[in-house]
Amino acid sequence: MDKLNEVENILSKYHHEYLLNYCNLVNNKDEFLDEILNLDFKLQEKLYKEAINSKEKVFSDVTPVIAIDKSSFSKEKLGEYFSIGYEEIKNGKLAIVTLAGGQGTRLGHNGPKGTYELLPNLSLFEILCDNLKKAYIKFGCYINWYIMTSKENFEATINFFEEKNYFDYPKEYITFFKQDDIPQNALDGKLLINEKGHIIRGANGHGRSF
């Protein structure tokens, strides 16, 4: 089976035959066919149906989380719980995840939002890192820091950290990763196509980062 026949079969199965109309409009037909073959149509269909059905859910069924009142515990019991927490941190069971895929456009800043300086020479990233350094002083161990970027600001974020010498935090405890993206649907379920004939993709949600 050649590539075009394979694409036709997949599009027919998931009712996206209209995409074939763009084959002759794009500059590179073979690249466009590969783009389609690399799509997870089963997942796309599932996410679309869930999004449509979510509009009909009754959110009044959601119950609030009950907060724990520390005053209801004795000092001894609280001390016991804190000790357990400290040991978990010291054993490397805690990590920090920062969702940093945004740009600072609305702040009037040209660059990743985390590089925005709230005070002269004090960026959002540095404020977060200062908290990790304080945790090191308190617990005697470094906490792993995972920083999710977008595909667009990945390089700029890493370059910023390198310029700042990782704020004197050990770089081996800092991991950068890109947020995945998925094709975007119109309300009728059809995939959105840009002016160059390529499928429009967008971030797949913060929840997927975990």
Mean of per-residue pLDDT scores for the chain: 87
d(CA 173, CA 113): 21
Give the global pTM: 0.72
- pLDDT tens for 122-158 read 999 999 999 999 999 999 999 999 999 988 899 999 9
> In 3D, which of 59, 50, 66, 86 has the Cα closest to residue 205?
50
Band of pLDDT at residue 116, cut at 50, 70 and 90: very high
**The residue to which tokens 């000790």 are assigned:** 83
- pLDDT tens for 23-37 read 777 778 888 888 888
- The pLDDT, as a whole number, for residue 192 is 87
Residue 174's DSSP bridge partners are 145
- pLDDT tens for 79-91 read 999 999 999 999 9
Distance of CA 132 to the CA centre of its chain: 21
- pLDDT tens for 175-195 read 999 988 888 888 888 888 887
Cα dihedral 32, 34, 38, 42, rounded to 10, equals 70
Q: Which of 51-55, 97-101, 108-112, 164-168 has the lowest mean pLDDT?
A: 51-55
Q: HSE on the CB side for 149, CA within 13 Å?
A: 22
Q: Where are the domains of the chain?
A: 3-60+182-209, 75-179
Tell me the three state secondary structure of residue 105: helix
Under 8 Å between Cβ of 180 and 47: no
pLDDT at 95 over 90: yes
47: left (phi over 0), alpha (psi -120 to 50) or beta: alpha
